[in-house]
Amino acid sequence: MAALAADVKPWNSEAFQRKQMLQQAVRNHGQVDLVESVDDQEKLAVKVMPLKWIKADHAQFLATYPKSAEKPWVDFAMISYLNTIDFPQACKLRGIFGDGTSVYVAYSLATEGDLFYWCRDLHPAERQQKMKPLAIQIAEAVGHLHELNIAHSDLSVENVLLTDNGQGLSIRICDFGMASLARFAAGVRGKPSYQAPEMHSREAYDLFLADTFAVGVIFFVLACNDYPWVSTSPAKPCKLFQFSQKFGLAEFTKKRKARRSDGQMLAEVISRDLFQVLEGLLQFDPARRFNLGESCYTNPERTSLWELGWMQDDSPGMVLT
């Protein structure tokens, strides 16, 4: 068996029973399986990746793929660190295993899947009420990461998992393979719909504010059951994003139909309070973008998300029109 990182244990296929595939892990050239421990019947999510891609450790991976934005060993290290400090919105890493062909990374199972499949059949007005506890948790979690000097850089509805804690749904953030301990960097990271516009310049930008833009896209998807745009890249022009840049998000919501709303426009179903949240998080100019309450933003001219009424109370607010 090829030599692996010291904390990788031998994979015992007899100790785990594979139940089904949960999803493809395309960027990791593998998949995520639902697995049950034979000893205690604990259900786990196990990411299976070929050793020929992931390599034996972080150093070998970087030597082979020096330009890769996805760094799997960084993902494992970040999750392990967050577990040691009892970060509440991280999955529990149960172990990293190898068998000479594949690497198996076992996590505690998020019982309710990811945000992508959350409440897809609800009317927009109902979605906005049900999404609020999740939105608050997401903003708190990402702000907490930033206080730990961690930029996630790949936030998306697929990378926020849900689990039932007996008192309701709680979120778990996963896939830290693009995370950084540096607040400022250059280069494009994350999925095209979530990429902050400043990523597409060649200059260094604030990764915390880029995360905040991605949080705005997540909130939009939760509220509207739809993506606001396909891409923010000038190299892959998206007419929806170009319209929003030119005319503003308010005008965009007046022209875009809401899903499952009997033909209503987004402006007719998004509450005024929630729109203020979306507009502040999705500011195309990072200098005007809201923050998530991080202590590093001391400029009083930058609004904190937590100052807004939608994040603080249960009132539905008025629609935009």
Given a cut of 80, whether residue 225 has pLDDT beyond it is: yes
CATH of the domain at 28: 3.30.200.20
Among 53, 84, 108, the domain boundary falls at 108
∠ CA 113-126-163, rounded to 5°: 20
Given a cut of 90, whether residue 44 has pLDDT beyond it is: yes
For 66-72, what is the mean pLDDT?
Answer: 93
Q: What is the model's pLDDT at position 265?
A: 94
CATH of the domain at 266: 1.10.510.10
Q: Which pLDDT tens digit goes with each residue over 302-315?
A: 999 999 999 985 54
Q: What is the model's pLDDT at position 301?
A: 83
Residue 62 falls within a domain, yes or no? yes
Q: Is 71 helix (H, G, I), strand (E, B) or coil?
A: coil
Q: Is 61 helix (H, G, I), strand (E, B) or coil?
A: helix
The confidence band for 4, taking pLDDT boundaries of 50, 70 and 90, is: low
- Considering the domain architecture, whether residues 124 and 68 belong to the same structural domain is answered as no
- Considering the domain architecture, whether residues 144 and 59 belong to the same structural domain is answered as no
Q: What is the model's pLDDT at position 126?
A: 83
Q: What is the model's pLDDT at position 12?
A: 92
Share the mean pLDDT of the chain: 92
- CA gap 186, 93 in Å, rounded: 30
- Considering the domain architecture, whether residues 75 and 94 belong to the same structural domain is answered as yes
Q: Is 207 helix (H, G, I), strand (E, B) or coil?
A: helix
Residue 3 falls within a domain, yes or no? no
- Considering the domain architecture, whether residues 256 and 144 belong to the same structural domain is answered as yes
Q: Which pLDDT tens digit goes with each residue over 128-166?
A: 889 999 999 999 999 999 999 999 999 999 999 999 988
- CA gap 25, 174 in Å, rounded: 12
- Considering the domain architecture, whether residues 150 and 51 belong to the same structural domain is answered as no
Residue 6 falls within a domain, yes or no? no
∠ CA 282-136-162, rounded to 5°: 105
- Considering the domain architecture, whether residues 162 and 120 belong to the same structural domain is answered as yes
- CA gap 262, 123 in Å, rounded: 10
Q: What is the model's pLDDT at position 128?
A: 86
Q: What is the model's pLDDT at position 27?
A: 86
Q: What is the model's pLDDT at position 320?
A: 47
Q: Is 44 helix (H, G, I), strand (E, B) or coil?
A: strand
- CA gap 75, 105 in Å, rounded: 10
The confidence band for 6, taking pLDDT boundaries of 50, 70 and 90, is: low
Q: What is the model's pLDDT at position 187?
A: 94
- CA gap 77, 238 in Å, rounded: 36
**Domain housing 35:** 13-108
Among 60, 77, 108, the domain boundary falls at 108
- Considering the domain architecture, whether residues 93 and 199 belong to the same structural domain is answered as no
Residue 54 falls within a domain, yes or no? yes
- Considering the domain architecture, whether residues 274 and 166 belong to the same structural domain is answered as yes
Q: What is the model's pLDDT at position 298?
A: 87
User: 288: which residues sit within 8 A by CB, 6+ positions away?
Assistant: none
- Considering the domain architecture, whether residues 80 and 123 belong to the same structural domain is answered as no
- Considering the domain architecture, whether residues 21 and 168 belong to the same structural domain is answered as no
User: Which stretches of the chain are assigned E, i.e. beta strand?
Assistant: 9-10, 16-25, 30-37, 43-50, 93-98, 102-108, 160-164, 169-173, 184-185, 205-206
Residue 8 falls within a domain, yes or no? no
Strand 205-206 to strand 184-185: parallel, antiparallel, or no bridges (unpaired)? antiparallel
What is the total count of domains within the chain? 2
- Considering the domain architecture, whether residues 31 and 179 belong to the same structural domain is answered as no
Q: What is the model's pLDDT at position 317?
A: 46
Residue 1 falls within a domain, yes or no? no
For 228-243, what is the mean pLDDT?
Answer: 95
Q: What is the model's pLDDT at position 122?
A: 78
Residue 319 falls within a domain, yes or no? no
Among 81, 108, 135, the domain boundary falls at 108
For 113-141, what is the mean pLDDT?
Answer: 88
The confidence band for 1, taking pLDDT boundaries of 50, 70 and 90, is: very low
Residue 263 falls within a domain, yes or no? yes
- Considering the domain architecture, whether residues 92 and 153 belong to the same structural domain is answered as no
Given a cut of 80, whether residue 238 has pLDDT beyond it is: yes
Q: What is the model's pLDDT at position 261?
A: 76
Q: Which pLDDT tens digit goes with each residue over 161-218?
A: 999 988 889 999 999 999 999 999 999 999 999 999 999 998 999 999 999 999 999 9
Q: What is the model's pLDDT at position 300?
A: 84
